[in-house]
Amino acid sequence: MKLSNSIFILSSIILLTILTFAVPGTFTRSERMMHLSTSNHVMVVPLPEEVNLAGELMPDISTSREYLSREMQVNSFWHSNTLQLLQKSSRFFPIIESILEDEQVPKDFKYLAVIESGLSPALSPAGAAGLWQIMKGTAMDYGLEVNDEIDERYHVEKATRAACKYLKEAKKRFGSWTMAAASYNMGMAGLQKQLIRQRETNYYDLLLNEETKRYVFRILALKYIFKEPRAYGFDILPSDYYQPWNDRKIPLDSSVESWGEFAHQFGWSYNELKIHNPWLRDAHLTNASEKTYDIHVPLKETALEIKN
């Protein structure tokens, strides 16, 4: 008799569990968030109650919710990629955030760098480079040096300032940060053409190519996942985040015959020097104009002098 009662109770629990997960709308948003963060069960990722980019609200309409839902689910369940992005964020966000604040660009735009490059010194098939994926012509228009030996598109600080200049120019032209973000993907001329063609003024009302239509929603998805990673199933500890580099900058206004020999003076390998200074693109530096560059080297003091 006791065995029968136990079987009945167990069967009831199993049935109740099945019904709970089978009935649409059973979970509230907060319950879904809690379940997502504590279970491997696959379910639709709940959307934030209010969504904004740089303070500009996403309209609460079905098309916008569906686009955002797609990006929230892609990035919530693409575990390996999103985890690595979270880890790298602690290394680069402090630098980027400081410059965004100084340039009076909303801090939400740090997520634009995330979706552009994955916070890596990437080079696209089209030739866009660095954390902000800047094309060569655009880089030179905004004051970056690009040649065989130096490519400042890979320079985190300088490239971030160039991106800020672009975004502020686009904001002034289109009247919103959301439109500025869209123009970063398709270009100001391309966006302007679609605004005229479609007689629209709002990003969310535009019919755009698939990449640009997803672009702002990808930024928004990562913004909310990064703000509450554990709520979206990423059990990441403070110790899991990459530490900011412990570097100091030294000015250099001479040529360098070998970056390998230069690196060894500071106890680094050629590889380490290039990781910390990815904008140095060759094994040497001619520097005929004797321009001054700030080179990242270990913070620890060294008695060795730079050999000219």
What does pTM read for this prediction?
0.84
- The full set of domain ranges for the chain reads 76-240, 247-298
The residue count for the chain: 308
Can you tell me whether residue 142 is helix, strand or coil?
coil
pLDDT tens, the chain, 308 aa long:
444 555 544 554 444 444 344 444 455 656 555 655 555 667 788 899 999 999 999 999 999 999 999 999 999 999 999 999 999 999 999 999 999 999 999 999 999 999 999 999 999 999 999 999 999 999 999 999 999 999 999 999 999 999 999 999 999 999 999 999 999 999 999 999 999 999 999 999 999 999 999 999 999 999 999 999 999 989 899 999 999 998 999 999 999 999 999 999 999 999 999 999 999 999 999 999 999 999 999 987 543 444 43
Amino acid type, 147: N
Is residue 233 a contact partner of residue 76, using CB atoms and an 8 Å limit? Answer: yes
Residue with tokens 């879904």: 32
CA dihedral 232, 233, 239, 243 (to 10 degrees): -50
306 CB burial (10 A radius; 0-12, 13-18, 19+): middle
Is residue 261 a contact partner of residue 283, using CB atoms and an 8 Å limit? Answer: no
**Domain 76-240 classified CATH 1.10.530.10?**
yes
**φ, ψ for residue 293, nearest 5 deg:** -115, 145
